[in-house]
Structure 1
Amino acid sequence: MKEKITVLVVDDSAFMRKVISDLLQQDERIEVIGTARNGQDALDKIKIIKPDVITLDVEMPILDGLGTLKKIMEESPIPVVMVSSTTLEGAQNTVLAMEYGAVDFIAKTSGSISLDLHKIKDEIINKVILASQSQVTNFIKNTEKLSGIKRADVRHEVHCQFNKSSQKKLIAIGTSTGGPKALQHVLTKLPASLNAPILIVQHMPPGFTKSLANRLNTLCHIEVKEAEDGEIIKNGVAYIAPGGYHLTVKKIGTALVVQLNQLPPRKGHRPSVDVMYESLADIPNYSILSVIMTGMGADGSDGLVRLKQHVDSYSIAESEDSCIVYGMPRSAIKTNQVDEIVHLQQIGQRIVELV
């Protein structure tokens, strides 16, 4: 039988340390082997107890969560799940934490001391288990200047070739765990003159996608924004689906218009990559370039099949050796509808070449 996943719980509140520890230990696969009251305390204990996963509070005295995370990733990379408040500042710091190498995050239910954290017990347990399975070393590799990456692996199960010359183009990206940093790698390589709009589904709860969009907008040549219901889609702009809303597109006259809805989650997700792709499969006279990147599960695979059946489309999946979690790309590849498997460092370049 596999050994238990060992966890270090880091929070400046003794109450929160106990609550998180107790919730995690209700699952027989997890053992909390230590707690720490601030970042420096955590760094000292990591060297001794060597946990598999760390839950890390964002806001702490002495050394806060972001500073601690940076040191962890520099000194001894371990999967980290951030524990964040849902305030604007908390959301901004969470997005930075994803950029610095955190695998995922948990949004506290009601402020820094959340008495009702038990409401998200399953989410906390699942994210810790998922973190233990993630390839955090790929984050380190992806942040280094890589050379000698093999050219994209071209698949041969292509049902229709991408029409590069004639039709209007639209890029549609789906991602989940590890996605914020992956999006940064891709979007920063795209020129402001890009001759296509970009639609993005990143699995995130309400309150965090706007901070993600704002952060990416400061780093990219293209404009990056949180999608708004009813807005007309423009070339050279990336639209991120708001947390809690599905993003679909409708053609009105000659324009494409964003439509947001709160229909039930698909495969547990809202926004859903499948829902976005399925709506694009109904758009005539457009060539769709779909990109599926790091993330757990199979979101995007059904929608990818629909795209291939109904419109001119071309599909890229991120390669296993750059994914933090290979679930979504693996599931997409299993459909035999993926045209290329591409390392994260090359996806932006391939988008430019294809569009």
Structure 2
Amino acid sequence: MKKINVLVVDDSAFMRKLIMDFLSEDPQINVVGTARNGEDGIKKLKELKPDVITMDVEMPVLNGMEALKIIMKQHPVPVVMLSSTTKEGTENTIAAIQYGAIDFIAKPSGAISLDLHKIKEDLIRKVISASKVNRKQLVELATDKYLSTTQDNNYSKIELKEASPLLKIHPNKRNDATQRIICIGTSTGGPRALQNVLTKLPANLDAGVLIVQHMPAGFTKSLAARLNTLCSISVKEASDGEVVQKGTAYIAPGGFHMRTKQIGANIVINLDQTEARNGHRPAVDVLFESVSEIKHYMKVAVIMTGMGSDGSKGLVALKNNGSVIAIAESQATSIVFGMPKAAIATKLVDEVQDVENIAKTILKYV
């Protein structure tokens, strides 16, 4: 079995040693070297040619953000960022994902986390996941002109363009439901995929959008705020008890499952901290299963890039209850094809689309 060669970049010698020791415990991983800042990391990258890099966001000389930009431009390699949970830290992490980072780990207690063991399993899992990314997509991330409009957190609302005429629904997809709801599930590579889809939906979208993006607490708020500055629809972190409005996307807060409750003609969001499902809270399966119980609504379910199979069981529940159109992201554009592949394997997916075509596909049915 070929081992995953990893380069660890962190300005703290203690953290470098801790991360190296944790990763080395897994028989699939081989730590080929460490670096003390972004500049040193780029030099070691050229020398050691690792399969994956773990990199701290906040470092002297050259910080993780600047180093990431150079890496993605010169030597695209899967990068997993390590970040603090401060407001600045979460905002920088979300921006790093847009610049090409595959995933991130939230340090439990700041820059020097003596309790890093709490996220050891998560760190190992995400490094292994990063090693399996679609390398063609990784290179395209580095040259993605779509992302070049979002530099340095200076975002402005995209001008609302007239929506293209909606395509007619195929006769066998017609139904009597007058209300519509869209639910989206995604994980690794999801923030970029969400940006691609949500920015193409018009402000007068005739449906609410419920989103589960696998992320820890604190980061979903920064993600929602960032997407809200870019989209014509409103994007927000969901709050318990609020009524779902058309033209608004609600992202489940990290650490909470998002469920729905139907009260009359309204859909109300319920958040809870019940047991994680397959290691995830929020979980796509939980959202989809909850939406499956809503009556007299036409539903569009979308599963995009991510490791694992979250969402496929929920898709079965949706399809067993009412009118549902299921869309999966294609292997060609998925950073990790796990979740869409599992959904497609259920044989319940109606359309498989590249990420840039998913918004248009949603609008066919909404």
TM-score (norm 2): 0.90
Structure 2 counterpart of 1:101, one-letter code: G
Structure 1 counterpart of 2:349, one-letter code: V
The equivalent residue for 1:306 is 317
Question: Does the alignment pair 1:293 with 2:308?
Answer: no
Q: Equivalent residue of 2:320, what SS?
A: helix
- CA–CA distance in 2 between the matches of 1:306 and 1:340? 18
The equivalent residue for 2:339 is 328
- CA–CA distance in 1 between the matches of 2:5 and 2:55? 14
The equivalent residue for 1:109 is 108
- CA–CA distance in 1 between the matches of 2:115 and 2:241? 36
RMSD between aligned residues: 1.5
TM-aligned CA deviation for residue 167 of structure 1? 2.0
- CA–CA distance in 2 between the matches of 1:76 and 1:331? 31
The equivalent residue for 2:91 is 92
TM-aligned CA deviation for residue 136 of structure 1? 4.1
Asked which structure has the greater RCO (Cα within 8 Å, sep 6+), the reply is: 1
TM-aligned CA deviation for residue 139 of structure 1? 3.9
TM-aligned CA deviation for residue 348 of structure 1? 1.2
Q: Equivalent residue of 1:310, what SS?
A: coil
TM-aligned CA deviation for residue 267 of structure 1? 1.4
Q: How does 1:163-312 map to 2 (within 5 A)?
A: 163=174, 166-312=177-323
TM-aligned CA deviation for residue 161 of structure 1? 4.5
Given that 2:54 and 2:80 are in contact with CA atoms closer than 8 Å, whether structure 1 keeps it comes out as: yes
Given that 2:182 and 2:207 are in contact with CA atoms closer than 8 Å, whether structure 1 keeps it comes out as: yes
Cα pair distance change 1:161/1:328, threshold 3 Å: farther
Deviations 1:310-352 (A, max 9, x none): 1100000000010011000000001010000000111111112
Structure 2, gaps ≥5 residues long: 147-170
Structure 1 counterpart of 2:64, one-letter code: G
Q: How does 1:19-38 map to 2 (within 5 A)?
A: 19-38=18-37
The equivalent residue for 2:154 is none
Deviations 1:278-304 (A, max 9, x none): 111111110000000000111111110
Q: Give 4+ residue runs of structure 1 displaced > 4 Å after superposition.
A: none
TM-aligned CA deviation for residue 26 of structure 1? 1.3
Aligned residues: 341
Given that 2:307 and 2:336 are in contact with CA atoms closer than 8 Å, whether structure 1 keeps it comes out as: yes
Given that 2:85 and 2:107 are in contact with CA atoms closer than 8 Å, whether structure 1 keeps it comes out as: yes
Question: Does the alignment pair 1:61 with 2:72?
Answer: no
Structure 2 counterpart of 1:97, one-letter code: A
Given that 2:77 and 2:138 are in contact with CA atoms closer than 8 Å, whether structure 1 keeps it comes out as: no
The equivalent residue for 1:138 is 137
Cα pair distance change 1:286/1:13, threshold 3 Å: same
Structure 2 counterpart of 1:305, one-letter code: V
- CA–CA distance in 1 between the matches of 2:237 and 2:172? 31
TM-aligned CA deviation for residue 140 of structure 1? 3.8
Given that 1:164 and 1:354 are in contact with CA atoms closer than 8 Å, whether structure 2 keeps it comes out as: no
Given that 2:288 and 2:317 are in contact with CA atoms closer than 8 Å, whether structure 1 keeps it comes out as: yes
- CA–CA distance in 2 between the matches of 1:139 and 1:184? 16
Structure 2 counterpart of 1:109, one-letter code: P
TM-aligned CA deviation for residue 108 of structure 1? 0.7
Give aligned-pair identity as a percent: 57
- CA–CA distance in 2 between the matches of 1:196 and 1:136? 35
Cα pair distance change 1:93/1:314, threshold 3 Å: same
- CA–CA distance in 2 between the matches of 1:267 and 1:83? 23
Given that 1:103 and 1:131 are in contact with CA atoms closer than 8 Å, whether structure 2 keeps it comes out as: yes
Structure 2 counterpart of 1:62, one-letter code: V
TM-aligned CA deviation for residue 119 of structure 1? 2.2
Given that 1:177 and 1:325 are in contact with CA atoms closer than 8 Å, whether structure 2 keeps it comes out as: yes
Deviations 1:29-63 (A, max 9, x none): 11111111111111111111100000010001111
Given that 2:13 and 2:36 are in contact with CA atoms closer than 8 Å, whether structure 1 keeps it comes out as: yes
The equivalent residue for 1:162 is 173
Q: How does 1:336-347 map to 2 (within 5 A)?
A: 336-347=347-358
Structure 1, gaps ≥5 residues long: 147-159
Cα pair distance change 1:109/1:136, threshold 3 Å: farther
- CA–CA distance in 2 between the matches of 1:14 and 1:53? 19
The equivalent residue for 2:44 is 45
Q: Equivalent residue of 1:22, what SS?
A: helix
Structure 2 counterpart of 1:7, one-letter code: V
Structure 1 counterpart of 2:288, one-letter code: Y
The equivalent residue for 1:3 is 2
- CA–CA distance in 2 between the matches of 1:14 and 1:114? 12
Structure 1 counterpart of 2:129, one-letter code: L
The equivalent residue for 1:74 is 73
TM-score (norm 1): 0.93
- CA–CA distance in 2 between the matches of 1:164 and 1:56? 50
- CA–CA distance in 2 between the matches of 1:302 and 1:239? 21
Given that 1:287 and 1:313 are in contact with CA atoms closer than 8 Å, whether structure 2 keeps it comes out as: yes
